[in-house]
Structure 1
């Protein structure tokens, strides 16, 4: 075990498959252990590098290993980068060996383990997104039920305030009225839960230094700033601002060959919720462009003169992501410039 350099773990719910190798890549052991057995096993191992796929539970295991007295170094790898190293037939031990092969590559890209605070914020955002989805589903269902009986309403949740008057103005079956009232109660519950989560996110953002500085970016609100702080952290895991924008999927896909560069649409990799919020912030900025001043506003105006608004929205979202990385990495905040202050 003294020559042990790298251990690959194929994570599971209850059982974990381990593959250990030395620096030249020779196999030293492969084991199948439970969670308790695995932690006890690593507690007796000398300090080494541990590779895992970035999946459910991987951030917790990485934190536990790095917190051990032995001082293990945990590396998380995106599953798409492990797949090419799987040899022939696939099983758990082959996956663990492939993780070792991928982690040993000097040019491999790794995922930075999240802290507990980052994971909690990310879970809150996912739960809020699910609640918003359910609320929209309830509204659409009520629209559909009413349309079946010849009542057409405008889009959006505003008709919830008019539901009582709608039921009194039209003669609807009693059972349909009961169903609509049940849906309205469910909508009110979901709407209240979303408002409470918004208050919690805003309260946590007020205590977060990075989140408060991200709010200085124009048209970036509390929800986007909170999610940026949760997903980006201190930004040191990215070499430059473009790397962060690429991780969100806001850079063009490339299909170049023969010395001819061919750029396609945005790659849409990474967190789609964060990418959607950044694009929405960009669209809000464009809608309020006449009130904006500074170099960023001048750049957007020049882009709109020669590009479609959808293209400009994605380009501006890319620039907002880069600005957010610069604020996190250099511990600064957004400044519009002297001409904006004068205006």
Structure 2
């Protein structure tokens, strides 16, 4: 008798959890559609979405968070705002660099680093200048360091695209790196 009541209880709980997960799936799908719609209609999102490693979610989040692009004088300030630049301690003319500061927006930094990791996974064996830069960076360094370096580079490119209202030109970016 107790075993039968327990099995009914477990079945009811499993059904409720399944229904809740189905509701969450529908809500996530609805949010994803809305994000894609904003991405398709916003010119700034379209421009920065051309950068490898930046998709609709990252592009819309960056555009929404940045707001006034004039508050950053350059790409390094923007990357620092995201927490993607190394900590620096200088004394007596000697500059010492440490790990990234992580002082910026955790969510945006995470999106940028995950996007960079996706690019790293597809860059091996490609011959374009950006992939060659990634391969040169990979040789002596840990993959996490390369991912953060690429995220930093992407952040600077994003700032340039937002500040200059220009389209993305990969060949020019690779030459600058």
TM-score with structure 1 length normalisation?
A: 0.46
Say if 2:10 is the partner of 1:176.
yes
Match of 2:134 in 1: 300
From the superposition, tell whether residues 231 and 293 of structure 1 become closer, same or farther in structure 2 (CA, over 3 Å).
farther
**Partner Cα separation in structure 1 for residue 68 and residue 56 of structure 2:** 18
> Judging changes above 3 Å, is the alpha-carbon distance between structure 1 residues 189 and 233 closer, same or farther for their aligned structure 2 residues?
same
2:3 equivalent in structure 1: none
Matched residue, 1:192: 26
Map Cα deviations across residues 4-63 of structure 1 (whole Å, 9 max, x no partner).
Answer: xxxxxxxxxxxxxxxxxxxxxxxxxxxxxxxxxxxxxxxxxxxxxxxxxxxxxxxxxxxx
2:124/2:135 contact within 8 Å kept = no
2:107 partner SS:
helix
- Counterpart in the other structure of 1:331: 165
Partner of 1:208: 42
3-state SS in 1 of match to 2:95:
coil
Change in CA separation of 1:291 and 1:231 when aligned onto 2, cut-off 3 Å: farther
Look up the match of 1:275: 109
**Alpha carbons of structure 1 residues 235 and 292: separation in structure 2 relative to 1, 3 Å:** farther
Distance 1:208 1:174 in 2: 51
Residue 245 of structure 1 aligns with which residue? 79
Cα gap change, 1:268 to 1:205, in 2 (>3 Å) = same
The offset of 1:292, in angstroms, is: 4.7
- Partners in 2 of 1:256 and 1:337 — Cα distance? 34
- State how far apart, in whole Å, the 1-side matches of 2:106 and 2:159 are: 18
- Could you list the runs of 5+ residues in structure 1 that have no partner in the other structure? 1-171
1:190–1:302: structure 2 CA closer, same or farther, 3 Å change rule? same
1:225 matched to 2:59? The reply is yes
Aligned-pair distance for 1:258? 3.6
* Preserved CA contact (<8 Å) 1:294 1:336: no
Aligned residues of 1:233 and 1:328 also touching (Cα < 8 A): no
Is the alpha carbon distance of 1:279 and 1:264 closer, same or farther for their aligned partners in structure 2, counting shifts above 3 Å? same
CA contact (8 A) 2:83 2:103 kept: yes
Find the partner of 2:69 among 212, 235, 238. 235
Q: Please identify runs of 4+ aligned residues in structure 1 that moved more than 6 A.
A: none
Cross-structure match for 1:4: none
Report which structure shows greater RCO (CA 8 Å, sep ≥6): 2
Going from structure 1 to structure 2, the CA distance change for 1:273 and 1:183 (only over 3 Å counts) comes to: same
Measured in 2, the distance between the counterparts of 1:209 and 1:292 equals 29
Partner SS for 1:217: coil
Which structure: greater helix fraction?
A: 2
1:315 paired to 2:149: yes
Match among 83, 86, 89 for residue 255 of structure 1: 89
In structure 1, how many angstroms separate the alpha carbons of the residues matched to 2:64 and 2:116?
Answer: 20
CA distance in 1, matches of 2:49, 2:120: 18
Please give the TM-score of this superposition, normalised by the length of structure 2: 0.87
